[in-house]
A and B are shown apart, each in its own frame.
Chain A
Amino acid sequence: DTAVSQTPKYLVTQMGNDKSIKCEQNLGHDTMYWYKQDSKKFLKIMFSYNNKELIINETVPNRFSPKSPDKAHLNLHINSLELGDSAVYFCASSQSYGRSYNSPLHFGNGTRLTVT
Chain B
Amino acid sequence: GESVGLHLPTLSVQEGDNSIINCAYSNSASDYFIWYKQESGKGPQFIIDIRSNMDKRQGQRVTVLLNKTVKHLSLQIAATQPGDSAVYFCAEGPNSGGYQKVTFGIGTKLQVIP
- A residues with a Cβ closer than 8 A to B are 4, 31, 33, 35, 38, 40-45, 48, 50, 55-56, 58-59, 90, 92, 94, 96, 99-100, 102-110
Cβ B101 vs Cβ A45 within 8 A: yes
Residues of B within 8 A of A33 (CB): 102
Cβ B44 vs Cβ A42 within 8 A: no
Report the Cα distance A90→B43, complex, angstroms.
7
Asked if B22 lies at the interface with its beta carbon under 8 angstroms from chain A, I say: no
Nearest CB of B to A44, in Å: 5
Report the Cα distance A102→B36, complex, angstroms.
15
Residues of B within 8 A of A102 (CB): 31-32, 49, 51, 93, 95, 100
Range of interface residues on B (Cβ < 8 Å): 35 or more
6 closest A-B pairs by CB: A107-B43, A42-B3, A102-B32, A99-B98, A40-B3, A43-B104
- B residues with a Cβ closer than 8 A to A are 1-4, 6-8, 31-32, 34, 36, 38, 41-46, 49, 51, 87, 89, 93, 95-104, 106-107
Looking at the complex, which one of A38, A45, A96 makes contact with B102 (CB distance below 8 Å)?
A: A45
Report the Cα distance A50→B39, complex, angstroms.
28
Task: Given A102-B31, A104-B34, A104-B46, check contact A40 B100 (CB 8 Å).
Answer: no
